Amino acid sequence: GAGVSQSPSNKVTEKGKDVELRCDPISGHTALYWYRQSLGQGLEFLIYFQGNSAPDKSGLPSDRFSAERTGGSVSTLTIQRTQQEDSAVYLCASSPRQGMGNEQFFGPGTRLTVL
């Protein structure tokens, strides 16, 4: 079956512009995560959605970052007024269940470059 997909695969933008990144999780997966990976760094948690519960936004680095998940499926991550330090690979993952041992299925990521 289809895995997690993300679009665009690459995005180059100018400092100060807004960007939207999209994630299509695996059908039926209730949990959805956004991470980012900066050069030479590990995966930095951004936000977590689980079913209809309020999202865990504790990893968002600033109020320029927001995300939503419509209908419990597709999610968009929006970065307003982008800065050069926002350049990173943004990864989305979904999981079929919550709880211990929740293996995550990752998309290929969106590489964001802010000039």
Partner 1 sequence: DQQVKQNSPSLSVQEGRISILNCDYTNSMFDYFLWYKKYPAEGPTFLISISSIKDKNEDGRFTVFLNKSAKHLSLHIVPSQPGDSAVYFCAASSGGSYIPTFGRGTSLIVHP
Is the separation of the CB atoms in 32 and 25 below 8 Å? yes
What b/e readout covers 53-69, taking b as 16+ CB neighbours within 10 angstroms? eebeeeebeeeebebeb
Shortest separation between residue 81's beta carbon and partner 1, angstroms: 26
User: Would you say how long the chain is, in residues?
Assistant: 115
First to last CA, the chain: 37
Using CB under 8 A, list all residues that contact partner 1. 4, 31, 33, 35, 40-43, 45, 48, 50, 56, 59, 91, 93, 95, 98-109
Closer CB to partner 1, 81 or 98, in the complex: 98
Shortest separation between residue 16's beta carbon and partner 1, angstroms: 28
Closer CB to partner 1, 5 or 73, in the complex: 5
Closer CB to partner 1, 20 or 56, in the complex: 56
